[in-house]
Amino acid sequence: MEKVFPNITDIPARALITKIGFDGHDRGSRIVAAYLRDAGMEVIYTPPWQEIEAVVQLALQEDVDLIGISSLATDHLIVPELMQKLSDAGLSEIEVFIGGIIPEQERPMLIEAGLGGIFGPGSSREEIVECAQRLAATARLRKQQAMAVAS
Amino acid sequence: MSASLSEQGFCEKEAKESPLDVAENQWKEDYAKQIGDNNQDIKNMSGITVEPLYTPDNIKDTDAYLKQSGYPGQFPYTRGIYSTMHRGKTWTQRQLVGLGTPADYNKRVRTMLELGANAISLLPCNSGFRGVDCDVVPLPLLGTCGTVVNNVDHMDTCLEQVPIDQISAAMNDPSPFTLFAFMLNVAKRRGISWDKITGTSNQSDYISHFVANHMFYRLSLAGSRRVLVDHIEFCREHVPNWNPMSVVGQHIQQTGATLAETVGFTLSSAIQHAEDCLARGMDPDEILPRFTFFFDVSINFFEEVAKFRAARRIWARIARDRLGAKDPKSWRLKFHAQTSGVDLTAQQPLNNIARTAVQAMAGIFGGLQSMHTDAYDEPFTTPTAKTAKIAVATQNILREEAHLCDVIDPLGGSYYIERLTDQMEEEALVVMAKIDAAGGMYKAVEVGLVQTMCGESSMANQELIESGKKRIVGVNCYQDEEEEKIEVETTRPDPVLMQKHIDEFKEFKKNRSEDAVAKALDNLTRAANSDDENVFASVVEATGVGVTHGEIISCLRAELGFGHPLIVA
């Protein structure tokens, strides 16, 4: 008999919304967490000041499809390190996006590190939710493919 | 009016001076005395003499005026806390500066002083807010949003050639106030007596951090409360001209509270801090003159002016009637205001210069004592030297060119402003009654009441923006599809110099006396665990023998609890 996998898109996507580094301005991350929750995603929200290793651990344990990083005060500068550590932990199928104050000159570095989306001030709820859903779908497709290969 | 009636009125006036006349004469006397050499006739462009103050004499006499507004420098201070206000002395230009290494800070702050700023303000690096020293922080995060100040030597460099006995300094550093402790040690090194030190422990209000400015929050709620009262008590005895208490309305407003809620929450916090000091046995007239307030000033022009007028009136009554203060200095709500970064937009960023000017005007008409104006690149980055200059120039233009300071409380007497002031007062009193019913501000934040109220107001505001009911130029109306991207300069600290700063710090730690450090940390631990000792006194002592910022905080976190803000979704 053919083995049937549950269709991964039938369960809600899982997103981790967090802040790394030392800044504590969390109004943005709370609003985005609410946006994604209202759009039907399962959201794992953390307070600010998470260490990169802790975020990687949480992403693994919670089996998230997507990580959203909020950065107001230059914490985006250590996002490439997060990407590297995710990859080291074998979690490179997870998509990552960022929102906040990200100067133009420092965006190429983030895109190069593999970020799926960058949102500045004034971004609309629709744009953010649309991007998050698209990234989550991509991540799940990758996971499903990996599962199929593994079986 | 018949001649006889008017004559009769005149006779009565002669026989007995009305309370209004007494107040008016008192103000005239105080004004003449205090304005001194600054007294000059001001004529407008049409040649009309501009009086320093307009009163109901210029309109119509009423008893209500005296009770609700009164004269400047008189209870209930609605029209300003000093009799001369900006006609006598404008305001302190206190630009927030924080970047890079201590040497970078020193260079910037000296430039600002040369440009007309007459006070300094120091903002530490975010790693400092979290309570860690530079030797354990990833290099890219150091000094991007504040200065890396971890010991007395660093502070000495920050303040090199800055006459700290002549200018007022604001240290933006929450409990346990290590930056201020560093500064006191610098004064000691320079042989400056502590009674010459003036300024403010800016944002020392831990309640506001617990509710809204989470990044300043690092000790437990109970621990922060203890250290704040110790700090106030220490300054009362040893640094009498320093303001240890800065009650913060800025964070709560920026987190989404309405302006009336902001007044209510802020004054409820002030009551909490004052009552904590009274419970410790301090006299209200010893501490309240050293209470200062720090507010946000948004672009809601008239509402902001009314906010400040209402806040002054409520506080005067509370200080006198509830806290029992008898000295008029205790009744005066003096405040610093910062133009709100929340109103600034990333779209068409040069428009922010106009927004800041309007905000600053609201603060001036609101009767502020000290001001920071934001730079237009605030939505992108820590201000560069270039944009910070424009922010200072905005203040200079308003002060020098626009004749905003000729008349005291120039919007007073406007039917709109007076009505709005009354309404803001009523709304704020409703909020304060809720807080009192919850057992005071400390209890109200502990259970999340204030956080929930802020969250609801914040969501309501966000919905107004999303629905387009609140219009923001360049964001949801007047968007410019062809908008030319302006070059926003992002300056990051020089990694080579920052690495050198870290290396020197490591070297410093190696060379200091381990015994002295161990002894000082031991004393600090003991003070934290004893009700009879002053924690802040031990912080001053410890920093003096080379204990670092991170060491002080990790010691106190172990003894007084590591705080996490209460986040209510």
Nearest to B143, CA basis, from B154, B470, B266: B154
Point out which residues pair with B121 in neighbouring strands: B170
The whole-angstrom separation of Cα A132 and Cα B156 is 48
- The model's confidence at residue A1, banded by pLDDT at 50, 70 and 90, is very low
Tokens in use for A12? 């809600």
The whole-angstrom separation of Cα B80 and Cα B74 is 8
Cα nearest neighbour of A26 on chain B: B214
Tokens in use for A59? 């992403």
Length of chain A: 151
Cα nearest neighbour of B493 on chain A: A74
Tokens in use for B401? 């060119």
Prediction ipTM score: 0.79
Residue of B96, B125, B130 to mutate, interface with A, max A Cβ within 10 Å: B130
3-state secondary structure of B92: strand
B522 domain residue, yes or no: no
Query: Each residue of A101-148: pLDDT tens digit?
Result: 898 889 999 999 999 999 988 788 899 999 999 999 999 998 888 888
User: Chain A to chain B, count of Cβ pairs less than 8 Å apart?
Assistant: 80
DSSP class of residue B534 equals -
Query: Each residue of A37-83: pLDDT tens digit?
Result: 999 999 999 988 899 999 999 999 999 999 999 998 889 999 999 99
Q: What are the DSSP E strand ranges found in B341-402?
A: 370-372
Q: Please compute the mean of the pLDDT values over residues A89-106 and round it to a whole number.
A: 93
Tokens in use for B488? 């926003």
Cα nearest neighbour of B254 on chain A: A27
B411 domain residue, yes or no: no
- Ordered DSSP codes for B153-169: HHHHHHTTT--TTTSEE
Tokens in use for B157? 């460099």
B13 domain residue, yes or no: yes
Residues of B in CB contact (< 8 Å) with A are 125-127, 129-130, 132, 137-138, 140-141, 144-145, 213-217, 255-256, 345-347, 379-381, 458, 462, 466, 475, 485, 488, 490, 492, 564-565, 567, 569
Point out which residues pair with B296 in neighbouring strands: B338
What is the structure's pLDDT at B39? Answer: 72
Residue of B457, B486, B490 to mutate, interface with A, max A Cβ within 10 Å: B490
Q: Across the interface, which of B213, B255, B490 has its CB nearest the CB of A106?
A: B490
What is the structure's pLDDT at B62? Answer: 65
B61 domain residue, yes or no: yes
Sequence ranges of the domains in chain A:
11-150
B557 domain residue, yes or no: no
Domain count of the fold of chain B: 1
Task: Please judge whether A22 and B130 are an interchain contact, meaning their C-beta atoms are less than 8 angstroms apart.
Answer: yes
How close is the nearest chain B Cα to the Cα of A116, in Å?
Answer: 21
Averages of pLDDT over runs of 10 residues in chain B (569 residues) are: 45 65 90 83 76 76 78 92 86 77 93 81 90 92 92 97 93 93 98 96 93 84 96 97 96 91 97 98 97 96 95 98 97 96 91 97 96 90 84 93 93 89 94 97 95 88 84 89 74 92 97 96 96 96 97 94 70
3-state secondary structure of B142: coil
Q: Across the interface, which of A30, A48, A78 has its CB nearest the CB of B138?
A: A78
Q: Please compute the mean of the pLDDT values over residues A8-17 and round it to a whole number.
A: 84
The whole-angstrom separation of Cα B31 and Cα B35 is 6
Q: Across the interface, which of A45, A48, A101 has its CB nearest the CB of B380?
A: A101
B351 domain residue, yes or no: no
Tokens in use for B509? 């730690």
B564 interaction partners in chain A (CB closer than 8 Å): 47
In terms of residue numbers, what domain contains B32?
3-83
3-state secondary structure of B200: strand
How close is the nearest chain A Cα to the Cα of B397, in Å?
Answer: 29
B289 domain residue, yes or no: no
A8 pLDDT higher than 70: no
What is the structure's pLDDT at B61? Answer: 56
In chain A, positions 67-86, which contact chain B (CB-CB < 8 Å)? 73-75, 77-78, 81
What is the pTM assigned to this prediction?
A: 0.87
DSSP class of residue B482 equals T
- The model's confidence at residue A3, banded by pLDDT at 50, 70 and 90, is low
Task: Please judge whether B216 and A125 are an interchain contact, meaning their C-beta atoms are less than 8 angstroms apart.
Answer: no
Q: Which CATH class is domain A11-150?
A: alpha beta
Those residues with Cβ within 8 angstroms of residue A8's Cβ, 6 or more apart along the chain or in another chain: A140, A143, A144
B515 domain residue, yes or no: no
